[in-house]
Chain A
Amino acid sequence: MKTKMYILLLVIVAIIVIAPLAMYNGLGENQGYFGGSDDAGGKAIEATGYTPWFNSIWEPPSSEIQSLLFCVQTAIGTIILGYFLGYWRAQRKYKQQEQKPVENSYSK
């Protein structure tokens, strides 16, 4: 697969994510849009008359703090992914150059 193919696939992913934003443009949480399905599931359970018997031991005090912590989660994942993909990419490249020193563009 070429880089162009990667870009094309990532554009499709972007369209899948952006389409709902365009479809329900102008609507927000107050109109019942873009809420989490996990919360909707919780509400459906509460509607049956059930009350949760255990609460989270700690909750982020505000949505700002929650978004911070979600970003931390994403950042931990991305740095590991990026580190190893870059490391392996360079590893394979320099391994090839060792085998064929003539083609090494850095030794010129």
Chain B
Amino acid sequence: MHIMEGFLPPLWCLFWYILMIPVVAWGIIQIKKTFESAPESKALLAVSGAYMFVLSSLKMPSVTGSCSHPCGNGLGAALFGPAATSVLAVIVLLFQAIILAHGGLTTLGANCFSMGIVGPFVAWAIYRALYKKNSTVAIFFAAFLGDLLTYVTTAVQLSLAFPIPTFTSAFIKFFAIFAITQIPLAIAEGILTVVIWDMLKKNKPKLLEKLGSLTPEEAEAAEQEAIADDKGSAI
């Protein structure tokens, strides 16, 4: 989903920056508020950011024969909401733009809009809609669709900037490059996020409940499961 440095016309770079900046600013305010009401969530935010760091560095092969990487933005979105996740995405994207020449500073606004705003927003909306029934199922679809929609957004962004010959034909072209390749990888991301989610749920059920990401019943069940696990474990 990284649009390479200089690959968007200056006006489009500006356009995506203008859309990105208020969300990131709102995200910083939200993170501050969350830290005030739940100081113990600092480490959890670090873990969400670290998860994005890991997943966005893993370029994996896809059945289409090209390689792409997952985003890891679903986890942060389910825990802290999309605005806070956009702040994490800026950190990851800046690291990659400056040190790896992957993505770029001029395209940071566009890349953050796809990976830090649309993806997490979709993930957050799906998680909120489903988590009361079953948080594991909810996190799978949140991570899966958050990842996929990130890439669909990139395809839309490029088709808007390069509608040659028409927007639709450009979209079909970019959709094939980005989104089709991403489908199996998004499934893989969904499954990985389920594993991490289950560990977080057992380790920090009360904190997840406080953040509003778990129902009290499920938090209680996760705590009981953790106690049962620890009894049988050797370490």
Contacts and interface: CB of A to CB of B under 8 A. Distances in A.
A60 B58 CA distance: 17
A20 B104 contact: no
Given A53-B6, A80-B47, A84-B46, A40 B52 contact: no
A66 B96 CA distance: 11
Given A19-B63, A20-B62, A77-B50, A52 B6 contact: yes
Contacts of A53: 6, 9-10
A20 B158 contact: no
B1 interface: yes
Contacts of B66: 33-37, 40
A44 B50 contact: no
B106 interface: yes
Contact of B99 (A32, A69, A78, A89): A69
Interface stretch (B29-37, B125-133, B191-199, B211-219): B191-199
Interface residues of B, number: 77
B164 interface: yes
Contacts of A21: 61
Given A20-B61, A73-B53, A41 B3 contact: yes
Interface of A: 1-2, 6, 9-10, 12-13, 16-17, 19-21, 23-24, 27, 32-42, 44-45, 48, 50, 52-60, 66, 69-71, 73-74, 76-81, 84-85, 87-89, 91-93, 96, 103
11 contacts: A16-B184, A19-B63, A23-B63, A39-B4, A48-B162, A50-B162, A58-B101, A73-B57, A77-B53, A77-B55, A92-B230
